[in-house]
Structure 1
């Protein structure tokens, strides 16, 4: 049995000197999964350091095409948020994301194929812990561990995302959910236990829903690199770090760097109740 920890995600924007000349680039946050539900694609624009918010990319045409000729349209609900009908990615199908902005620019992703099946979440357990805060008070909290059996003799790249709720009512997963990634390089074919690096309050966070997804290597590299840079207080995507490679491109201007990634994921999910 192996033990490891998951990184805590960060959704706060980071202001970076020297980015003014790289503003106004399309930012794509797109995750399409095997869960039969409404999916949401978020479009925005990168911004100069002097701005405090990210402009939403409104009025775009957004859709997926698979290798069977099926088209899945996403209609804009909130500004910059594009919603599908209830739909699921199909195993073995290959998908491409298309975004046509209001000014006529056409963005297309590389083809992504949904392969493999994520191992089920074998067990979710909680345990109590405590720490002393800056005022010398003992703070008690709960932590959660995920147990799974990693398939042997194959590469697997995992993507988890989770959220807590006092009533167990969970909406569509979005960027407010915590997330983490890992590969099975060090535990291939073994039972493994992951501890979520989040402190839960049993009286408030009574239910926690956790998705476990398998993604391909390139998506894993992209997502884990962003988290690692944020964790080190470095700058994701932009210099001075090496720019991360998106799987989307502007067909009208191939030199334009698109920010973000189209992630295709096989998912399973489970919910744990934290008894007070």
Structure 2
């Protein structure tokens, strides 16, 4: 965070409310943000169970998220359709699938367990766009790597403000394929070692990670509403692209007020976390208390059109003349000597896997490697994702 000491006070940032002329002019005041409501809500044009997160601010050194339980949460549109949300797994999930539709206003309403009431401004769905992705060999700050670019174009010139999220999945292939493992079994009041079949499918896995922080761009300085944005850069030495890699990018079209809100949130937090529950300051959003006009509410109710696109590529597609093995961890077998009676050195069975040697029924030496070199299920999943393409 930008402030080293948090003393139950924070910066209050007032953003201008006239969207067409807002130029990031802010006034700062000291305000108490203890136990303020936090709302993270983006309703999209996807037909799905929409999600809303509601929590409370906490002190800077607190690590536990304070979920706001027992709230009544609804979204109401301009046709008086009401969409109710139920609390589940720390979130509020719409009871039925629905999507935001063009030319309708949407408003978020919250009644906290305390009985306090909150409401958002009325928001309208933004322009929907199509997107394309490309992966090219590029360079950033002298480092070669894979550059993933988002491209889109709005011929109506009405979008202009964009926020991005991505989910990346990559294939993990271990250096060694293990077919057997060491197992300790009870024997005459102690234990003995046996060689037994290894768990199946521990050689190839798939890991998935989601983007963090706020990623935005705008086209306000361009003559056309045309996006060519570098959404992700991956060093060629990063293992996640060593084999096969996939990225799913979501482009949210925002209005000016939403863009400014997220933009300022990123500026106020070194980490760039969206609506950080222990952020050092407060940014006026579009949600307010209907009971107490002076009560501070953190967060934004966003109604945004979203477009998604996925691509795949192999390391050789971008770097055909580079051997990825030169960058990555060298898996060197170790000859491990076990004593007859299990002792401290038997802890190696939790960090290493067996690759050969020794009869297995008596104390002897065994060739072993770090688990990451022979069992990818120790840190990843061997379940092939439903969307995966070889």
> What residue is the counterpart of 2:163 in the other structure?
159
Give TM-score, length-normalised by structure 2: 0.57
Please point out which of 69, 82, 90 is paired with 2:80: 69
**1:220-235 correspondence runs (5 A):** 220-231=259-270
Contact residue 2 and residue 268 of structure 2 kept, 8 A = no
100-109 or 224-233, which deviates more: 224-233
> What residue is the counterpart of 1:253 in the other structure?
292
Q: Go from structure 1 to structure 2 and tell me whether the alpha carbon gap of 1:13 and 1:68 turns closer, same or farther (over 3 Å shift).
A: farther
**Are residues 1:263 and 2:302 paired?**
yes
Contact residue 86 and residue 92 of structure 2 kept, 8 A = yes
Displacement of 1:224: 1.1
Find the aligned partners of 2:105 and 2:118 in 1 and give their Cα distance: 17
Contact residue 151 and residue 226 of structure 2 kept, 8 A = yes
Contact residue 164 and residue 205 of structure 1 kept, 8 A = no
186-195 or 43-52, which deviates more: 186-195
> What residue is the counterpart of 2:93 in the other structure?
83
94-103 or 199-208, which deviates more: 199-208
**1:45-194 correspondence runs (5 A):** 45-79=56-90, 81-84=91-94, 85-117=96-128, 119-121=129-131, 123-129=132-138, 141-151=145-155, 153-154=157-158, 156-166=160-170, 177=212, 179-189=214-224, 191-194=226-229
Contact residue 155 and residue 225 of structure 2 kept, 8 A = yes
The count of residues paired between Structure 1 and Structure 2 equals 253
Displacement of 1:111: 0.6
Find the aligned partners of 2:255 and 2:72 in 1 and give their Cα distance: 26
Q: Go from structure 1 to structure 2 and tell me whether the alpha carbon gap of 1:92 and 1:15 turns closer, same or farther (over 3 Å shift).
A: farther
Query: Cα RMSD between the aligned structures?
Result: 3.5
Displacement of 1:231: 4.5
Contact residue 39 and residue 86 of structure 1 kept, 8 A = yes
> What residue is the counterpart of 1:199 in the other structure?
234
Contact residue 77 and residue 105 of structure 2 kept, 8 A = yes
SS in structure 1 of the partner of residue 119 of structure 2: strand
Q: Structure 2: any 5+ residue segments left out of the alignment?
A: 10-31, 172-205, 316-390
Find the aligned partners of 2:82 and 2:244 in 1 and give their Cα distance: 39
Contact residue 153 and residue 188 of structure 1 kept, 8 A = no
Find the aligned partners of 1:70 and 1:126 in 2 and give their Cα distance: 42
243-252 or 188-197, which deviates more: 188-197
Deviations 1:37-93 (A, max 9, x none): 2221001100123422221101111110000010111110113x1011322111111
Q: Go from structure 1 to structure 2 and tell me whether the alpha carbon gap of 1:155 and 1:83 turns closer, same or farther (over 3 Å shift).
A: closer
SS in structure 1 of the partner of residue 260 of structure 2: helix
Contact residue 149 and residue 232 of structure 2 kept, 8 A = no
Which structure ranks higher in relative contact order (CA pairs < 8 Å, sequence separation ≥ 6)? 1
> What residue is the counterpart of 1:19 in the other structure?
8
SS in structure 2 of the partner of residue 74 of structure 1: strand
Find the aligned partners of 2:169 and 2:229 in 1 and give their Cα distance: 21
Greater radius of gyration (CA): 2
Give TM-score, length-normalised by structure 1: 0.79
Q: Go from structure 1 to structure 2 and tell me whether the alpha carbon gap of 1:140 and 1:116 turns closer, same or farther (over 3 Å shift).
A: closer
Contact residue 74 and residue 108 of structure 2 kept, 8 A = yes
180-189 or 260-269, which deviates more: 180-189
